[in-house]
Amino acid sequence: MSRIGRQPIVLPSGVNVTVQGSAVLVEKGKVALANPLPPGITCAVDKGAVVFSRADDSRQQRALHGLTRALVANAVKGVHTGFSKDLEIIGIGYKAQVQGRVLQIALGFSHPIEFPIPDGIEIKVDKQTRLTVTGPDRQKVGQVAAEIRGLRVPEPYKGKGIRYADEVIKKKAGKAGKTGAAAGGA
């Protein structure tokens, strides 16, 4: 059996999990996430825990067993506590603000960039240079954070751009100056 797949998911209070056809629905309050069940993987909710099993012991079934359990565990954690990614904006004149459901970012271009905030995602801005992307869906939070970072990837010489809060940028040395005989002088 898959080491991950055979572990039960303990449900926190207030989280409901139901199996509807070929999908697992995880709900808490107004937040609901659905995860598809691949063929051959079954799900059972028993005594406050979710347990997964598989039909056969093929390599693909073993992989899907652990994957499905991990995705549902992420959904349970997402509806209970949520996920977040922190981003920092580094650079003179670089700043961000949220207006309605649009993130406006000034990144040194001739115009401010307007990034529409997807449904189910919240973005908070602190001190105009720190962004926090939060939401119940782990994949969506990571995708939105990556798209925002992609608007101005940190450059390797000064480190200017948008980076994750825990990201370390390896800076390169600048261009070496020409000196003396090596420069072809007299």
Q: Where are the domains of the chain?
A: 9-80, 83-164
Note the pLDDT tens digit of each residue in 24-71. 999 998 888 999 998 888 888 888 898 988 888 888 888 889 899 999
Whole-angstrom distance, CA of residue 46 vs CA of residue 36 = 19
pLDDT, residue 184, reads 56
CATH 3.90.230.10 for domain 9-80: no
Residue 125, sorted as left (phi over 0), alpha (psi -120 to 50) or beta, turns out to be beta
- So what's the pLDDT on residue 75? 92
Q: What's domain 83-164's architecture?
A: Alpha-Beta Complex (3.90)
Instruction: For residue 72, give the nearest of 43, 113, 92 by alpha carbon.
Output: 43
CB of 131 within 8 A of CB of 87? yes
Segment 69-82 shows an average pLDDT of 92
Q: Does an H or E element contain 133, and which?
A: strand 130-135
Q: What is the pLDDT of residue 1?
A: 45
**Residue-level pLDDT at 95:** 92
What is d(CA 78, CA 72) in angstroms, rounded to the nearest whole number? 10
